[in-house]
Amino acid sequence: MTAKDVADSDVAHLLHPYTNLVRHRETGPLVIERGAGVRVFDKDGRDYIEGLAGLWCTALGWGEERLVAVAAEQMRKLPFYHLFGSKAHEPAVRLGEQLAAVAPVEDARVFFANSGSEANDTAIKLIWYVNNALGRPAKKKIIARDRAYHGVTVATASLTGLPANQRSFDLPIGGVLRAGCPHYWRYGRPGETEEEFATRLAEDLERQVLAEGPDTVAAFFAEPVMGAGGVIVPPVTYFDKIQAVLRKYDILLVADEVITGFGRTGAMFGCETFGIRPDMMTVAKGLSSGYLPISALLIKGSLFEVVASEAGRIGVFGHGFTYGGHPVSAAVALETLAIYRERDILGHVRRVAPVFQAGLRALQQHPLVGEARGIGLIGALELVTDKDARTPFDPALGVGARLMAKAQERGVILRAMGDSIAFAPPLIISESEIAEMLARFRLALDDGLAELAAAGAFGARS
């Protein structure tokens, strides 16, 4: 099929996620043909630096032949089997063993699913299950934060703190509480230090728990770095203070490592970067470098014992997914973990991250950029109409989406979350590729500035 044939068929037949469906009818898709390293290529052969590693996931980049070979070998040996009814297969068992060994979850047990949404949804169900088993039927409420992203199932979209994930979907469901977003630059008060901001958020959380009743609040969900909400890096001491409140009132902490897991922050897990000691942890994306769908929920051994006891009382643990722990996905994930170790991907991230972070912060001098933020190989630029006042653009202007389109024209694929532009390139990216990616985006910023100024949407800046 020609590129036009594919595009026409796409518009005629597909329903695209996270897409302006009306505009898509007019513009059609960007049709990607192949990938190599940190780049993908369209049907016309034009290259794009994939600045978001696909969807935060293709950590090893495109064209990793070891993963292809392992998938093919496993397809020939055992292309499908399940874990229902006491069945097992070696890839899932070995993967569970390796995850339990490296995860910062005490005596971890591993449950496999297919996506971060499914893993987080399972965490919600287990939280309710455990509290029922412990005779605490009122302890069911779950706290998630403004601008959080935890998935798109009915339950996880309710935890997600982004309006577009809830509007017209009749969400959120009941029992979800909302805590403040830990974005110091945007929500810190004048004269307030980062530590004081963190203290205020922890005090707000404690007041919220007391107002609801500690015997009704079951869990707190948190991404170590908030991803789809704008790449929000927590302020100094934030997680120490939040965890103190949770421990005080016997509230479980679920760490959503779907984006931050497997090296993104410079440690194997974001929990290690920020001193988080979770009761449950979810992983996906980088677990297989995005090559095949797989996710996992890890729970503390003490919680597993409660689940096991309740399942024994009922007669079965009535939860699971057909493809959870799929042998091909598990085999690819095992090989992905092996590559991370053998090539010292964490060491590489630590070496190149300073170059990436310095390059982002250099872009903060651009007239459109109010803040550059990030850690490791994840970051964002927040666009503003007034730097000193930190004034956001009118949402009706769609400035973030405009800049994303300009970046694509310049040969770099990124993601706009409102007026924050996210970067999370493959972990294998080199220093020269980082420089090229940021140079391409600087041209896109200049293009966007010129367009906004011509439209009268941005005043003259020196």
pLDDT in tens, 273-304: 999 999 999 999 999 999 999 999 999 999 99
Provide the pLDDT confidence category of residue 121 given band limits of 50, 70 and 90: very high
Q: Where are the domains of the chain?
A: 31-63+344-454, 67-342
Q: Are the C-beta atoms of 59 and 345 separated by less than 8 Å?
A: yes
Phi, psi (rounded to 5 degrees) for 47 = -95, 150
Q: What is the pLDDT of residues 308-324, one digit of tens each?
A: 999 999 999 999 999 99
Output the average pLDDT for the chain: 97
Is the model's pLDDT at 229 over the cut of 60? yes
- Work out the average pLDDT over 196-221: 98
Kindly tell me if the per-residue pLDDT of 168 is higher than 70: yes
Q: What is the mean pLDDT of residues 123-141?
A: 98
Fold topology of 31-63+344-454 = Aspartate Aminotransferase, domain 1 (3.90.1150)
* pLDDT the model gives residue 462: 36
How confident is the model at residue 457, as a pLDDT? Answer: 86
Q: Is pLDDT at 344 greater than 60 in this prediction?
A: yes
Q: Judge whether 255 and 278 are in contact, CB under 8 Å.
A: yes
* pLDDT tens digits for range 396-441: 999 999 999 999 999 999 999 999 999 999 999 999 999 999 999 9
- Per residue in 347-363, pLDDT tens? 999 999 999 999 999 99
Output the pLDDT for position 152.
98
Give the pLDDT of residue 365: 96
pLDDT(220) > 80: yes
* pLDDT confidence band for 4 (50 / 70 / 90): confident
Q: What percent of the chain has pLDDT over 70?
A: 99
Is there a shared CATH topology between the 31-63+344-454 domain and the 67-342 domain? no
Identify the CATH number of the domain defined by range 67-342: 3.40.640.10
